[in-house]
Chains A and B, each alone.
Chain A
């Protein structure tokens, strides 16, 4: 029997995978994909909670999060492609001009 609690557990697992990915992966694109995974984990939690509480707020929030995520993709990829074209590398380790 799959209960809403299982979905919350899955959301937490996805969120943690995303967070760990951001911290350990070196490619900026992959780091960014991990952030998107975290946003989608939050979406799953919202939709599940909406089901548990029996109101629609969580579903509407999920819409807004999707739009925000798309806007983030557009801004983020623009920044990342401009960096990539300047350096031929998308590694966050290569972005090290500012070390004190």
Chain B
């Protein structure tokens, strides 16, 4: 249990800070309401109501899929990183091989225009 004490302290500090910021902002900040402030934030563009079942361009899916597949590969780095010193050269070579193969996929995506947003 002793190992988790620093994490608990960190979590408590984070919670206290978040709660304090919200409450302090609400109490100390000036309150001058106007119409534009109440609207949803859309990067300065006038918000427009869109029909139900709106479909996104397929580019979003492409980017999202590329993100997911490269992002999830990182998962294998965690166990390796934890035992990095004990796995030694063998672990390092394996991990370099692994990253090199992921890189091959990345190079393919990049060369074939998968990263271009035209």
Interface assignment of B58: CB less than 8 Å from any CB of chain A = yes
Interface assignment of B9: CB less than 8 Å from any CB of chain A = no
Contact status A70-B72, CB under 8 Å: yes
In the complex, residue of chain A having the shortest beta-carbon distance to the beta carbon of B66: A74
Q: Is chain B's interface secondary structure helix, strand, loop, or mixed overall? A: helix
In the complex, residue of chain A having the shortest beta-carbon distance to the beta carbon of B78: A63
Contact status B69-A71, CB under 8 Å: yes
Question: Restricting to B54-73, which residues have a CB under 8 Å from any CB of A?
Answer: 58, 61, 65, 68-69, 71-73
Chain B contact residue count (CB 8 A cutoff)? 12
Q: A81-B58, A85-B58 are in contact. Are A70 and B79 (CB under 8 A)?
A: no
In addition to A63-B78, A74-B68, 11 A-B residue pairs with Cβ atoms within 8 Å of each other are: A60-B79, A63-B75, A63-B76, A63-B79, A67-B76, A70-B71, A71-B69, A73-B68, A74-B69, A77-B61, A81-B58
Which residues of B are at the interface with A, using a C-beta cutoff of 8 A? 58, 61, 65, 68-69, 71-73, 75-76, 78-79
